[in-house]
Amino acid sequence: MATISEKILSQHANAKTASAGDIVECEIDYVMVNDVTGLPAFKAFEKIGAEPKREKIVLIPDHYVPNKDVASANQAKAMADFARKHGIPNYFEVGRGGVCHQIMLEEGFAAPGRLIVGADSHTCSYGAVGCFATGVGSTEAATVMASGELWFKVPETQKFTVEGELPKYSMGKDIILHVIGEIGVDGSLYKAQEWYGSTIEDLSIAERISISNMAIEAGGKAGLIPADDKTIKYLKNRVRGDFNPVYADEDASYVEAFEYEASEIVPTVAGPPLPENAKPACEVDVEIDQAYLGSCTNGRIEDMRVAAEILKGRRVKEGVRMIVVPASKRVMDEMIAEGLYRVFSEAGAYVSGPTCGACLGGYMGVLAKDEVAVSSTNRNFIGRMGHKDSKVYLASPATVAASAATGKITDPRELG
């Protein structure tokens, strides 16, 4: 009668059963910190005074890379110094990594049945490969670095089922925006999501990651998609070590169940200031100043292919800027090899190396007062990508590309 979350937490707690509401102390497979969350974690760790669990620690600078100022340079230096001092093998220096969540998946740390924590709220992304992954604070991350363990309250689980064929240019991002639009930003508060149905099975791993990534935008603790043949193929020659997929029992107990018909999920945008403000793109007639493609939500090669398909032979609208940010060096290399970089360049887009950049209002694409952006990122809170009076509309890579070409938020189906 157990869900995926209950089983994974039970196994990592060496408990026969762990049911929703139980408090368990679990062995963690990996703990990840980035350049922003790392500094306070390192300070807390040094106060503990323990030997680090070196093989469990993953250090990934990504939020302010390359360093944009002295403050960010100091953060980056603190991470590099910590890695050298303690002999941390899994440190991904600038130029050899990318956005932290992409690297955790791409480099094979995440796998079915594993328990991973990260000092970043979008750690839930790894649920796309059947892993229980969740964000924690920097102090908690330090505790895991020292002990390899952390306590959890086992979450209740919601079941989401999507059946049927999606309309043209509807993507995993549209599914999660549609769902958050219905259940709200607190609709999964401290609950785990499990995703099922023929639509989910048909999605690429990249699109599944978009769904799991935004579980936190509904308040979720984790967003899990059961491992299948696509998952195993994705992990081949990539995963580190052995893994054991975990599946919910047929009679598992869910606190809530939601069912959706894929044909009703059209290209969708979420207007400011919350991801729950979702409506069909065709109903949003808003001119834009910037189109942003990238982030841990939608910076994978599959996202770049979809956007390039739409932009090929077209130009970014005069008066609009488009910024394209691959999620890792590997994605960047694939873009170049496949000719996608040329498509974006000829369309008039600016293409950068991997970074979180403007997603968090950090740099390189930050919005000015009253500017409007359509973005494939995951949050559109007040001031999220720049000035408090700027506006961000969340959308899929297809909708971002179409909007860049027309200069206003556009349903990509309008471009053929």
Q: How many helices (H) and strands (E) does the chain have?
A: 14, 17
Q: State the residue range of the domain holding 212.
A: 4-260
Q: How many domains, in total, are found in the chain?
A: 2
Please state whether the predicted TM-score (pTM) of the whole model is above 0.95.
Answer: yes
| pLDDT value for 416 | 76
Q: Answer whether residue 22 is part of any domain.
A: yes
Same domain, 8 and 25: yes
Residue 208 has pLDDT above 80, yes or no: yes
The last residue of a domain, from among 260, 288, 318: 260
Give Dmax (Cα) for the chain. 62
Confidence tier at 356 by pLDDT (50, 70, 90):
very high
| pLDDT value for 277 | 98
Residue 14 has pLDDT above 90, yes or no: no
Q: Give the residue-averaged pLDDT of 328-353.
A: 98
Same domain, 77 and 120: yes
Same domain, 187 and 83: yes
Q: Give the residue-averaged pLDDT of 26-54.
A: 97
Q: Answer whether residue 155 is part of any domain.
A: yes
Q: Answer whether residue 256 is part of any domain.
A: yes
Mean pLDDT of the chain: 97
Same domain, 247 and 304: no
Same domain, 38 and 165: yes
Same domain, 234 and 278: no
Same domain, 241 and 388: no
CB 408, CB 186: distance < 8 Å? no
Q: Answer whether residue 129 is part of any domain.
A: yes
What CATH number is given to the structural domain containing 337? 3.30.499.10
How many CB atoms within 10 Å of residue 78? 17
Same domain, 282 and 202: no
CB 100, CB 60: distance < 8 Å? yes
pLDDT digits (tens, 9 = 90+) for 98-137: 999 999 999 999 999 999 999 999 999 999 999 999 999 9
| pLDDT value for 235 | 98
pLDDT digits (tens, 9 = 90+) for 171-193: 999 999 999 999 999 999 999 99
| pLDDT value for 197 | 98
Q: Answer whether residue 348 is part of any domain.
A: yes
Same domain, 311 and 230: no
Q: Answer whether residue 416 is part of any domain.
A: no
The last residue of a domain, from among 224, 241, 260: 260
Closest Cα to residue 320, out of 401, 396, 231? 401
Confidence tier at 395 by pLDDT (50, 70, 90):
very high
Same domain, 96 and 120: yes
CB 120, CB 37: distance < 8 Å? yes
Same domain, 62 and 108: yes
